[in-house]
Amino acid sequence: MKTLRTAVALGLWTAGLVAAQAPKYGVGRAVSAAEIGNYGIMVGADGKGLPEGSGTAVEGKAVYAAKCGNCHGAKGEGGIGTALVGGKGTLATAKPLKTVGSYWPYATTVWDYVHRAMPFDRAGTLKYDEVYSVVAYVLFLNGIVEEKQVMNASTLPKVRMPNRDGFVPDPRPDVGRMGKARE
């Protein structure tokens, strides 16, 4: 029901924008594709926007040791940084461990986040091949891909994450009285 309402609302607000398509104020300027490129890639959950390049866990192991293990632990067990490995079967327990392997629904998200935000102290320095490699390694540590499985723009979106179906839409309000306070 709530999901349905949201879907309807999605259409309505966009329709309102479309009805008023002509620019009114003419501020700002047009941008070329090259300029947009300078802002960095955008990566969708379907893999749209993933760049060329590739890597496997074999290469990723070295990248991980050099640039990730300090914070996330030698085997992804966590440290200053969050745990990346483990936690399978813990989500419905009193002590859930949310990792790439146990929680993250899309492998593309791992790629996108590593590319944008990691390493924490030098974000944006990893080359595309390094990102594919290190993501392959983290997926391998979680038993999701094989050690020599090549990750690239076409294979990565096809990786099925264990918790892919673990997310549900927001059902709120789910707690609390919806009627008048005093009746």
Partner 1 sequence: MKRTNRRRVLQLGAGLGSGLLGKAEEGRAPGRPLSGYGERSKYVKPVRTMRQTKTPQAGSSATPLADMYGIITPSALHYERHHAGVPDIDPERHTLLIHGLVERPLLLTMEDIRRLPSVSRIHFLECGGNSGGEWQEKTGPDAQRSYGLASCSEWTGVPLRLALREAGVKPEAKWMIAEGADACRMQRSVPLTQDLDDALLAYGQNGEPLRPEQGFPLRLLTPGWEGNVQVKWLRRLFFTAAPHYTRDETSRYSDLMPDGKARIFTLMQEAKSLVTFPSGGRRLAGAGWYEITGLAWTGRGRITRVEVTLDGGNSWQDARLDEPVLRKAFTRFRLPWRWDGKDAVIASRATDESGYVQPMREQLIAVRGRNSGSHFNGVKMWRVQADGSVTNEDA
C-beta of 148: minimal distance to partner 1 in Å?
A: 27
The encoded tokens of residue 105 equal: 């629904």
Nearest to 136 by CA among 78, 49, 61: 61
125 binds partner 1, rule: CB under 8 A: no
> How many residues of this chain bind partner 1 (CB under 8 A)?
68
The Cα–Cα gap between 83 and 111 comes to 16
Nearest to 155 by CA among 129, 132, 128: 132
Q: Is the peptide bond before 119 cis (omega within 30 degrees of 0)?
A: yes
The Cα–Cα gap between 7 and 141 comes to 38
Looking at the Cβ atoms of 52 and 174, the one nearer to partner 1 is 174
CA angle 139, 108, 151 (to 5 degrees): 55
160 binds partner 1, rule: CB under 8 A: no
Looking at the Cβ atoms of 35 and 146, the one nearer to partner 1 is 35
Kindly write out the interface string for residues 5-44 of this chain, putting x where it contacts partner 1 by CB under 8 A and - elsewhere: -x--xx-xxxxxxx-xxxxxxxxxxxx---xx--xx-xxx
Single residue of 62, 74, 75, 120 touching partner 1 by CB under 8 A? 120
Nearest to 125 by CA among 133, 117, 134: 117
Looking at the Cβ atoms of 25 and 62, the one nearer to partner 1 is 25
C-beta of 86: minimal distance to partner 1 in Å?
A: 14
Footprint of partner 1 on this chain (CB under 8 A)?
A: 6, 9-10, 12-18, 20-31, 35-36, 39-40, 42-46, 80, 91-92, 94, 96, 98, 100, 103-106, 108-110, 112-113, 116-117, 120, 123-124, 166-181
